[in-house]
Structure 1
Amino acid sequence: MKPIIDAHIHLDLYEAAEIEEIMAGLENAQCTDVISVSYHLDSCRINLQLAETYHQVRPAFGFHPEQELPSDHEISQLFSWMENHAEDMVAVGEVGLPYYMRMEQGAGFSLQGYMELLEEFIKGAKRWNKPIVLHAVYDDAPAACDLLEKHGVKKAHFHWFKGDAPTTERIAENGWFISVTPDVLYEQEIRGLVQRYPLKQMMVETDGPWRFEGIFSGKMTHPRMIHQSVDQISSIKGCPPEAVYQTLYANTKEFYRLNGR
């Protein structure tokens, strides 16, 4: 095995015993860092505590879009807290647009408030000089691209990206990154994305505690699963595994500015 980094995990959403198990197994898995993204303000606080406890945890702070919008007061509290802890985060995230919730709720769903909140996070990322981690898939991805281009964002990470070919090309042409989960072993959609997307703009993630199917069915999601993802990416790309490991690892270290560790 070669060194890996889990570029996107919700470590704070695991049970306490599971967190201990994951962190105890990182060295054996050769996982040097995990980027633990946040769901809301309480999640941000927990991720900061985890980062203070475990040197491998690199926290990102934000508000996951697949939930009801926070009140103005809650937004103000979150941004104030992030401002005070800007030096503690490696990125703004997870932020974005609520595609799955919008599909569930139907035509009456209003995206406007989510667009406005995402733009505020983009402005914050620019102000704090941080990368931004995005949940923006399918029909919502072009709208996110519009906002990123409007504000001249250079460092954007579309985690577990799914979308059409023109949007995929647009993301690549802007120099933005995507990350690949273990479902690359069994989802043709993701395998096709890996085939098309430049390796030099790719990372790997688990999005744990989200659980996977196939050979991972019934198993707790752990960063060690990334090794199977890398093997699959190597096969799809027709590149030697050593080169793929090296590129993915270097991509993530550079994107999240982990080289000083």
Structure 2
Amino acid sequence: MLVDSHCHLDKLDLSAHGGDLHKALQAAFERQVNHILCIGIDLEHIDDVVGLAEQHEAVFASVGVHPLYRESREPKLSDLIEIARHPKVVAIGETGLDYFYGEGDLQWQKDRFITHIEAARQTQLPLIIHTRGAKADTLAYLRDHGKGEVQGALHCFTEDLDMAKQAVDMGFMISISGIVTFANATELRDVVKALPLDRLLVETDAPWLAPVPHRGKKNEPQYVVEVAEKVAALKGVSLQDVAKVTTDNFFTLFAKACGTGEAN
């Protein structure tokens, strides 16, 4: 049993499944991908994200505004907390800092990140973080504003081992995407080798970043199997071991998801 700990079901290209999301989910279930976390990236479409979680027992949702979505409705603390009360909303985010693509004065990113951190602190839900080129500030904001009370996941991790270790020390898990299968991802593979398996999650970030051998295709939840297979090879363990441990990790971190549904 596997969990796709980060994907965007509302953004999937369903042409391979006749436009039917249920068929895409069924393809994942047939490969033993039994649970999926659908990530909120703006507030304009949060009803769609939560609605998918309501419609499918095996799907959970998060609420947040992506750090590159400047034009999205401002994520007020009260709004995040209110939406997070929904029984299928199990996390705050995606949020974070992106200095790689971000341009100009990025104070607005920092302010929104602080808001999300506070929402996670007040709701006691895990925080899903997008971080790129912002190692020092991401870690500093988590320490200064999380106050040791916030845990979560650094999703689609592409930073260095030092950042991963510091995040793990703060109670965060490191989520590995299909990038780990790319030929040029040597540093990421070294991170996977160095970290204990009980601090890792696996994800697709679908519809983006399809793993080898599916590169060039639109990504989807069933391909988290290939991510897990690569992690297993790097760790020198079985796919079954990776599936069990990363699934346990998911339900330990996203504790609100426990007992709310099985694959149908």
Query: TM-score when scaled to structure 1?
Result: 0.88
Structure 1 residues 51 and 165: CA distance shift in structure 2, 3 A: closer
What is the one-letter code of the residue matched to 2:113? L
Cα offset, 1:69, TM superposition: 5.1
Counterpart of 1:129 (choices 124, 127, 131) is: 124
Cα offset, 1:213, TM superposition: 5.7
Whether 2:166 is the aligned partner of 1:170: answer yes
Whether 2:94 is the aligned partner of 1:98: answer no
Structure 1 residues 192 and 159: CA distance shift in structure 2, 3 A: same
4+ residue stretches of structure 1 with deviation over 3 A?
none
Whether 2:212 is the aligned partner of 1:218: answer no
* Deviating more after overlay: 88-97 vs 227-236: 227-236
Query: TM-score when scaled to structure 2?
Result: 0.87
SS in structure 1 opposite 2:4? strand
Whether 2:258 is the aligned partner of 1:259: answer yes
CA distance, structure 2, for counterparts of residue 224 and residue 14 of structure 1: 12
Structure 1 residues 154 and 41: CA distance shift in structure 2, 3 A: closer
Structure 1 residues 124 and 213: CA distance shift in structure 2, 3 A: closer
Structure 1 residues 46 and 142: CA distance shift in structure 2, 3 A: same
What is the one-letter code of the residue matched to 2:250? T
What is the one-letter code of the residue matched to 1:143? D
Q: Deviations over 1:117-171 (max 9, x none)?
A: 101110011111110000013x313212112112224412100112233222211
- Mapped contact 1:172–1:198 kept (Cα < 8 A): no
Please provide the CA RMSD for this pair. 1.9
Partner of 1:142: 136
What is the one-letter code of the residue matched to 1:66? L
Partner of 1:244: 242
Structure 1 residues 239 and 15: CA distance shift in structure 2, 3 A: closer
What is the one-letter code of the residue matched to 1:205? E
* Deviating more after overlay: 144-153 vs 44-53: 144-153
CA distance, structure 2, for counterparts of residue 169 and residue 20 of structure 1: 38
Unpaired runs of at least 5, structure 2 = none
Q: When the two structures are aligned, how many residues end up with a matched partner?
A: 249
Whether 2:154 is the aligned partner of 1:155: answer no
Q: What fraction of aligned residue pairs are identical, expressed as a percent?
A: 23
Alignment of 1:45-84 (within 5 A): 45-68=47-70, 70=72, 74-76=74-76, 79-84=77-82
SS in structure 2 opposite 1:101? coil
SS in structure 2 opposite 1:168? helix
Counterpart of 1:35 (choices 26, 34, 37) is: 37
What is the one-letter code of the residue matched to 2:22? E
SS in structure 1 opposite 2:61? strand
- Mapped contact 2:96–2:113 kept (Cα < 8 A): yes
Whether 2:94 is the aligned partner of 1:115: answer no
CA distance, structure 2, for counterparts of residue 30 and residue 241 of structure 1: 12
Cα offset, 1:70, TM superposition: 4.6
- Mapped contact 1:69–1:114 kept (Cα < 8 A): no
Unpaired runs of at least 5, structure 1 = none
Structure having the higher helix fraction is: 1
CA distance, structure 1, for counterparts of residue 162 and residue 209 of structure 2: 29
SS in structure 1 opposite 2:217? coil
